[in-house]
Structure 1
Amino acid sequence: MEQVKVKGSKHTEVIHEFEICIERPKPSAFDELIALLKKILNYCICVVTCGCVAPHRSSNGINGEEYGTLLLDDERIAVENLLTYLETENCNDAVVSPQHLRALCILTYSDNNDLQRSAALCFAEFSEKMCGPLTTEMAVPLVQLLRSADVQVQRVASHTVSKFLVVPYVTNKEVLASIGVLTPLNHLLFSSDPEVLCNTCGCIAALATADCSQQQLYMDQSIKALLSLLKSAHVHIQHNAAGAILNLTRSQYNRNELVSQGALPVLVDMLHSPDEEIQYTCIAALSNVAVHEKHRAMMVAIGNHDVILRLISLMYSRQEKIKCQACFAVRNLASDGDQQVLFVRYGILEALHKVMKATSYSTQPLAAHMLAAALGCLRNLSILKANELSIVSEDFLPDMCRILNSGHNWEAQRHAAGTIRNIAVGDHIQAVLESECLEALCWCLLDVRTKSSAHADITAALAVLADEDDVKSKLLALWNGGMFGRLVSLASLSISKEVQYNSAGIVGQLALHGIPDDLRETNKLGIVLYIDKFLKSKDQNFLHIGLWTLSQLLNDPEFVTAFKEHHIDHVIRRLLTSSHSPAIIDLAQAVQDRLLGAHQEHVSDTPK
């Protein structure tokens, strides 16, 4: 899966991808190929000897009535060449020689269907044995076989192309796309043969993940054909058609194309499929499409909020991966106010709470993803003020504290912190404090297991809580001042600007309360250094928080001395002569006046 971050703090989208793997029930391609080549040569011998040597006959072999076209000399030589190669060398060479490749090309471009079929089977055998990437020289005749009018050739060729596409060579996709494989594949989407359709959908699913083919995949009405094949009577065709559509949703361009050609009603309807794999794939496709706000509104407008009701229902599925995928889709859909109200109205909170309780202690990867997605959804829902009371009443806060303290799922911790912040900004800060969310957030920030990626949301939540006077005293006292030291360290050393800014803001709020002597002495140098760095920043927000914090700290004579020794007044003077906003200039002037006043007081207090 490829992760794509979307601007804004609401969520981080995961763009889901269908991992195509096609297996066609068939006899050994090698045995089938050897038998076919022998029958062709056997017939040639019969023709050349005027019937003195009888041809080998079987119910599915070649005889004079079936085989109406004589082989040309170069075709006969090509058959002999490949037969000798296959029987003596058993196709063990990783590289196909130019001689054998020429023989393959002769069979490929023959007008004889049986020779084309031989070439296709030979390519199928090579796809099993080759240990290197596909070359253009081999790809061209293979793609040509897709254009054959013979269904048997189409079956083998499409299956072989799919095999080359799923091996771990990225260049195979690029090579096949560059020589126009999509044109015959789009044509084969209208075949009447189920096996050809299944293989073709699988090929398109694989190619849809290659950047080089993204802009070509909607050619020749292929999207409409794929949507039609979602309703096929053959479940394997449905699987691969759904996978192709899912992989097309990886790019915004193709998402727009899919929506414009009517994909949303079809995908929503397929959520009712009795096949769980198809359910899973269609949920993922809808989740990807729901990245765009306009598409979310269109999706919800289908029927009587069908997609919302069905996704909530699928969160109770017996299949863990379906529940997980439903959580992702709900999270993305619940990014807007209208949808947030509807989800709560239709009972999403109960489903989310059940998922959280079932997964909060698990360390299994699927459970971890599901928990993070459920909390991401809850976070989105908590943005809407009307939902705050419902979330608090549902008793989510203690569960979020437990997740913060667990230490093994940083993505879930991140969303739990974001949800707590949203609720604290509203009218329920007291409920947050009574549930010991402050202690859980601090513990999570101090825990060395917590990934730095979660620090921004944790410090953002603490910044909101630190506005309360009793929280200020707690933050200064927690872990014998260890929490305060951690904030100073993050303000100075964090690689995240957001964490630096949030931590500095909390320190500034604590400075209003008054920093105890022992904490001041321990952290004075770190505070001076990060204030100095902030005041030299080009970011107006950092300049503002640095100046504001400095103005609070100058109430303490010890900090006045520390900043004077660091020559902070030189930095302030440079700010006053720079082209900053009036608000920054005014604040810098006020700080300079404070520094000057403090210096004069110091001089007047010095014994003469």
Structure 2
Amino acid sequence: MLQELKSVCSSRNVFSSFLFLLLCAAFGTRMGQLCGRCIQLLRDFVAFVQRMSSNLVQGIKECLTLISKCSCLKQNSSKARQLYKPILQPHERVTAQEFLQHIETGFEMSPLGKDPLEALRTLAFSENPGLQQSAALYYLHMSQHINVPLPVEHLEPFYALLRSADLEVQQMSSLSLVNFLLEGNKSNREAIGAARGVTPLLSLANSYDPRVQQNAVGAILNLTQSEKIQHVLCKEGALPVLTLLLESPDSEVQYYSCATLSNMAANVQHHEAMLRPGNRFLLRTLISLLSSSVDKVSSQACVCLRNLATSADIQAEMVAEDVLPKLCSLLASGSEDVRHASIALLWILSQHPHNQDTLACVKLLQSLGMLLSAHKTDPVIVGHTACIIKNLSLSKNRQRIIESPCVEGLLQTMLSTDAQEDSLHYVTSCLAELAKQEGATLCMVQWMDEPLTKCLVRLAGQVEHTEPSFQAASIIQHMIGHEKMMPLLKSHTREIQAYLENFLTHQEIRFQQLGISTFCRLREDPEFSLAFRKSQMAKLLEQVRQQTEETQELLRAAICHEDC
């Protein structure tokens, strides 16, 4: 019977709170002693509430009167008196009745008024769990239906509920707090933080009940949206609690704790407190969570590690803790969030020169090449992977990159019609850097065909996209001397001539220099040489020469003036 009542009381209508209130106030812990007749009356009562008839209040009174007069409630009374039970004080009973009347008639009009506040104070500070549950239900209903800041005067009774020893009160009040701290209720965060609302939350975070833990840590997560409250959390000792909760058997508690720590790690001021010298428990725990079977936990662990990896020392410690094999596994995850989080963390780690030799291992390069092949249209994957390969190519391990599938993967991403400008910039920049080495150029030429050649020429001609244009032209310039490339380039003579003319008239000297260098190399081929003679190339080169001479004369005059 009790389960039937709880199922009704779990609904969100305004009658749920006063239903549970009156039952608890009338019978307390004796509900399990009811006879069959009284149980049937309660069943009828439950059905009656569900129909929500207009004479609901009168029906409640009649039902409770009949049950209260039954002899079944008088049985075993001597045994019951041997146990301690909170006594329902007369003023509490009156308050409960008045509270019921307010719920019925005045909730929608004045849920935060003076009268319900006084009633909430009485119920919240009562020793009777039933009355506390009624107050908790009221706050829960407010948090779900009223999107306004919670007045400061309502916080005192609310904190009393958070400190309750009753599990149901803890569950409902902690869930209410999560709702009160949702986006849009920013003033609630400041008020709760200023009124020391963090302390009861930290106590609830250590609860043995998973639901209470989830609600408490979820509320703490919402509090960390405020930098001011982050400092309060640190001061109140939240960091050790959250770190230990990372090892919780409940994946939801793990996730909320990790997300909370990620928010705090985004503020570098907290790093010293989070990573005490000589105590890297948090770091090791986060790295272990990378192997979690729950995607959102492993993804959030990557985010937290990325936020913490702001110094070379911390990055080196992560690499030393054998983080690389775990990240390689995450790159092959079926979850987009996990892939994005892991590639972003790898990008951070690849920026430090001391990590580059370790990261440029065969396994990681194979994983990066496969990642590009499988997700060539994903701008996050393409952009970060290209940056990682470029960072690693600056080390002595460039030959490993050339021998891996990374070069082919980068070239193939350029063919994607969905590629964004930023992604193209990172890809062409990486390939242009690799092309400075002859071995890498030979590798590129091996994969070049008509579609790729057309793509490179097209990118070089898009002068509105400055960086991809320059880098694509640089790649072409490095590949000109190879026999396989000349036939491919000759089919795009007009397009190449057009972008070279644009380069020669470009305001940036680097474009002019690249245009002249490319012109000189192509002119060695008879067909290109003939095409150039029929164009405006000679006239443009003469203009560049004159500008150069004028610049040199001005420089000589300036130097002479300084010497004098």
Please name the residue that 1:371 is paired with: 382
Superposed displacement of residue 67, structure 1: 4.7
The verdict on how the C-alpha distance between 1:390 and 1:183 changes in structure 2, with shifts beyond 3 A counting, is same
Give the distance between the partners of 1:332 and 1:178, measured in 2 at CA. 36
Is 1:85 aligned with 2:85?
A: no
Please name the residue that 2:419 is paired with: 409
Report the number of matched residues: 483
Superposed displacement of residue 390, structure 1: 2.0
Higher relative contact order (CA 8 A, sep 6+): 1
Mapping for residues 233-382 of structure 1, pairs under 5 Å: 233-260=249-276, 262-302=281-321, 305=322, 307-345=323-361, 347-360=363-376, 362=377, 367-382=378-393
Q: Does the CA-based 8 Å contact 2:460-2:472 persist in structure 1?
A: no
Q: Does the CA-based 8 Å contact 2:393-2:401 persist in structure 1?
A: yes
Q: CA RMSD in A?
A: 4.3
Please name the residue that 1:576 is paired with: none
Please name the residue that 1:28 is paired with: 11
Please name the residue that 1:38 is paired with: 22
Q: Does the CA-based 8 Å contact 1:315-1:322 persist in structure 2?
A: yes
Superposed displacement of residue 511, structure 1: 5.4
Mapping for residues 51-66 of structure 1, pairs under 5 Å: 55=68
Q: Does the CA-based 8 Å contact 2:136-2:173 persist in structure 1?
A: yes
Give the distance between the partners of 2:320 and 2:156, measured in 1 at CA. 46
Query: Alignment partner for residue 432 of structure 2, among 421, 424, 445?
Result: 421
Is 1:390 aligned with 2:404?
A: no
Any gaps of 5 or more consecutive residues in structure 1?
Answer: 1-24, 45-50, 493-502, 525-551, 564-571, 573-585, 595-608
Query: Alignment partner for residue 70 of structure 1, among 84, 88, 111?
Result: 88
Please name the residue that 2:199 is paired with: 183
The verdict on how the C-alpha distance between 1:505 and 1:160 changes in structure 2, with shifts beyond 3 A counting, is same
Quick check: which has more Rg, 1 or 2? 2
Is 1:507 aligned with 2:526?
A: no
The amino acid that maps onto 1:292 is: S
Give the distance between the partners of 2:212 and 2:164, measured in 1 at CA. 12
The amino acid that maps onto 1:38 is: L
Give the distance between the partners of 1:26 and 1:234, measured in 2 at CA. 27
Give the distance between the partners of 1:178 and 1:485, measured in 2 at CA. 66
Is 1:193 aligned with 2:248?
A: no
The verdict on how the C-alpha distance between 1:183 and 1:483 changes in structure 2, with shifts beyond 3 A counting, is farther
Give the distance between the partners of 1:220 and 1:250, measured in 2 at CA. 19
Please name the residue that 1:127 is paired with: 143
Q: Does the CA-based 8 Å contact 1:139-1:176 persist in structure 2?
A: yes
The amino acid that maps onto 2:299 is: Y
Q: Does the CA-based 8 Å contact 1:376-1:412 persist in structure 2?
A: no
TM-score normalised per structure 1: 0.67
Q: Does the CA-based 8 Å contact 2:407-2:444 persist in structure 1?
A: no
Q: Does the CA-based 8 Å contact 2:9-2:19 persist in structure 1?
A: no
- Aligned-residue sequence identity (percent) comes to 19
Superposed displacement of residue 356, structure 1: 1.0
Give the distance between the partners of 1:523 and 1:182, measured in 2 at CA. 72
Superposed displacement of residue 251, structure 1: 1.9
Q: Does the CA-based 8 Å contact 1:43-1:56 persist in structure 2?
A: no
Any gaps of 5 or more consecutive residues in structure 2?
Answer: 1-7, 29-63, 521-531
Query: Alignment partner for residue 121 of structure 2, among 101, 105, 111?
Result: 105
Give the distance between the partners of 2:536 and 2:555, measured in 1 at CA. 29
Q: Does the CA-based 8 Å contact 2:17-2:138 persist in structure 1?
A: yes
Indicate the larger mover: 458-467 or 103-112.
458-467
Superposed displacement of residue 357, structure 1: 0.9
Q: Does the CA-based 8 Å contact 1:124-1:156 persist in structure 2?
A: yes
TM-score normalised per structure 2: 0.71
Give the distance between the partners of 1:26 and 1:590, measured in 2 at CA. 91
The verdict on how the C-alpha distance between 1:214 and 1:439 changes in structure 2, with shifts beyond 3 A counting, is farther
Give the distance between the partners of 1:213 and 1:324, measured in 2 at CA. 29
Q: Does the CA-based 8 Å contact 2:162-2:173 persist in structure 1?
A: yes
Superposed displacement of residue 161, structure 1: 0.8
Superposed displacement of residue 265, structure 1: 0.9
The verdict on how the C-alpha distance between 1:317 and 1:510 changes in structure 2, with shifts beyond 3 A counting, is closer
Give the distance between the partners of 2:18 and 2:538, measured in 1 at CA. 86
